Amino acid sequence: MKRIILSAFITIGINTLHAQSVFFTKNGTVSFFSSTPLENIDAKNSAVASKINAQTGEMEFQMLIKGFEFKKASMQQHFNDKDYMDSDTYPKSTFKGKITDLSKVNFKKDGTYSVAVEGDLTIHGVTKKVSTTGTITVAGEKVNSKATFTVILKDYNVSVPSFVSKKVAESVQVKVDCDYQLYKS
Q: Record the pTM.
A: 0.84
CB atoms within 10 A of CB 125: 12
- pLDDT reported for residue 166: 63
Lowest mean per-residue pLDDT among 16-25, 57-66, 141-150: 16-25
Q: How far is CA 44 from CA 16, 27, 47, 155, 156, in A?
A: 35, 12, 9, 21, 19
Lowest mean per-residue pLDDT among 5-14, 125-134, 170-179: 5-14
- pLDDT reported for residue 170: 84
Q: What share of residues in the chain are helix, strand, coil (percent, to 5)?
A: 20, 50, 30
CB atoms within 10 A of CB 153: 19
Whether 159 shows a pLDDT value over 90: the answer reads: no
- pLDDT reported for residue 160: 72
Q: What is the mean pLDDT of residues 32-36?
A: 87
2-182, which class in CATH? mainly beta
- pLDDT reported for residue 7: 40
Whether 111 shows a pLDDT value over 90: the answer reads: yes
For 52-102, how does the pLDDT look when each residue is reduced to its tens digit (9 = 90+)? 999 999 999 999 999 999 998 988 998 899 888 999 999 999 999 999 999
Q: What is the mean pLDDT of residues 123-143?
A: 97
- pLDDT reported for residue 105: 97
Give which of 78, 24, 76, 88 is closest to 45, Cα–Cα: 76
- pLDDT reported for residue 107: 96
